[in-house]
Chain A
Amino acid sequence: MNQALALIVVVPMVGAAVAALLPAGRGPWLLATAISWYMLAAAAMLAGQAMDLGMLSYAMGGWEPPYGVEYRLDPANALLALLIAGLAAVVLPFAGPSLANEVPIEKSPWLYAALLLFLAGQMGIAVSGDAFNIFVFLEISSLATYTLIALGRNRRALTASFSYLIMGTVGATFFLIGVGLLYAMTGTLNMADLAARIPEVASSRTVHTAYAFIVVGVCLKLALFPLHLWLPNAYTYAPSAVTALLAATATKVAIYLLIRFIWTVFGIDFSINEMPTVQLLVPLAIVGLLSTSVVAIGQDKIKRMLAYSSVAQIGYMVLGIGMATELGLTAALLHLFNHALMKGALFMALGCIAYRLGTSKLDAFRGLGRRMPWTMAAFVAGGLSLIGVPLTVGFISKWYLVLAAIELGWWPVVAVIIVGSLLAIVYIWRVVEVAYLQRADDESRCEAPLSLLVPTWILVLTNFWFGIDTRLTIGMAERAAALLAGAGP
């Protein structure tokens, strides 16, 4: 029995209730930050154990699986848990000054309660081994997200939040319908148990329908093209720190769910032989990757540009999943981790700029290379990582994706991956040029405070750290992919 596996979800959830009761001010923020650090420590410890032992399990309330709710950690979700907790631990210190500037202080108890609920939900999805329980956590984190987005300064945050609410609810409902159908056919909700029982009934139309509902529902959550329309507005109008956290973790958790259901629950043989998974995911990933990158080039608001870039990057991950090989899966998992680092860093740099200038319009970037040298350097470093320059995490991701495509002999896909990178050069360099080579009317220096710069740079440096020392990331991704690929019949 490993209590930490339960506590990593329970602590932020209880913390949310406590935060809501605290007086407005710095208290809720400090509590949330402390909890995020606890989560990181716990996740690191659990991930270490999961890598050593292969699998950790905790039966909620002492009810043995498959009857009770089981929390289960193997290398695949250990990577995700580490990612969520790690990003939270970096973004929350940043969130204090950043959100204090963007959201009225009297809302702070509710704000941090929602943030903690969001984290509890995300972590719950990551560690839970029970399909219905996952739905519950999906809803918890989604409801918290709608609140967080609606807190944005611009009134358009309300419509952005509302349209995400509609799309997110449709996605969650589809997921629930799928889980219900599976329960009807197999009588179980435990995912490991489902994986064992589905092959007996795999040819039934009900299971096919369940697969379709679950995959479409999850794809709505992870914003696969063309189900991504909620994402750009949500990212653009949410408060800066919230965007950083959402971009880094929310869609990644949905990607994990997609991988888990395709590879473990349904089994890869079922997914690619009985269902048109590859035929569906690969073209959508490719079209999404290229079209949203092109759209990103035309954006005037840099926050929205990065949001479109996120949709494009999700295309890379889905492409890796759609390859349906172990190497492709490794690439997808690696990019899942690595993209969180680069997008987190980029959105945090935008947060620093929003803190001083209150906007992320391209015009406002003129002369920023001189006015906010450290912030812009962070942006450039994050951008290089996004492009995939060697010694950054982006390079490692690209390497594995291209390698996986070459292994299959998919040369046109290699070209697509490369063209995606080249488009990233265009939209990142547009900003760099304006910031460094155009003069501003007001040349005064206005660097962001250290309380924002330090967390931003920590994340920037992780982009280089994991781009050079890849033992942890590649090691975990390979273990996870081998496990997922081996789990199928």
Chain B
Amino acid sequence: MNRKTLAILAAVVVLPLVLRPAIAAEIWIFAIFGLGLNLLLGYTGLLSFGQSTFFGSAAYVAGWLLKHYGINVFLALGTGVFVGAASAALVGYLCVQRSGLYFIMLTFALNQLFYFVAYQWTSVTGGEDGMPGIPRPGAFLGIDFRDPLPYYIFVSALFLVSLWIMKRIVESPLGKILQAIRENELRAEAVGYNVARFKLLAFVIGGAFSGLAGVLYAMLFGIVPLEAISFVTSGNVVFATLIGGSGSLYGPVIGSFVFIWLSESVSTLWARWPLLLGVAFVIVVLFFRGGVVEAWARFSAWWQERKWRSSKQNG
């Protein structure tokens, strides 16, 4: 067990003490979502701007089943993972054939397709009002998930499992192949890997994580808002992953912590907070391009130098 794992375990324990459990749970849910994106963005080098497609689809389908058929909690999670992976397979199949700008635009356009279906299919999704009334699973092994704290524990346990699985994936031969594709697609192809198929696989895995996050989100708030499948959600998860630093496994975890914590505290203060979010995007891009991790490294380097200078002056 290394320091990073310990830090995350500590955060899991401490967060609900300092934040509302709902927000703390949202942080870990968003982190699962970010992990899925990071497999594409950070490890395979695919900038998907349509991750909310999988997040939202899973939330709607599982939410609908929970609401109308009262399915078991694990069945709901399984449904979410499946729907996320299946929709990702569909979108991925269309997108992996292209690269660069085309790829980004396609993921976005297909995201819009799903969005408009959800927007217009009001009898199922509730359209603009969202799909309310999703029950949180009742008692399980004597624990009532309807209370915020047990649900938080449930979510954070799933987050830890997701993180562990993702760690195993990126450290496996598959993860290495994906990184090879990121570094040099032509060479990976030349070495004999079917690049398109591996990209699709990364898409499906990323979609499964997004789907899991989507279901947990739906059960957390008891509603699937239309926003869950909109491109803003896709943009948010990209932003969170980038501010955390997309190169590392823990980047999206840090990013979603910063993002959710900030947005939850600002959005209650001002209804026009997306304006600030946009300003934050612009500032980060123009001045802090390596994310929080790099900003910290720069700060500590500056601090070290200052200390060194002052010690030289004194001595």
Q: Do A and B bind each other?
A: no
A residues sitting closer than 8 Å to B (CB atoms) are none
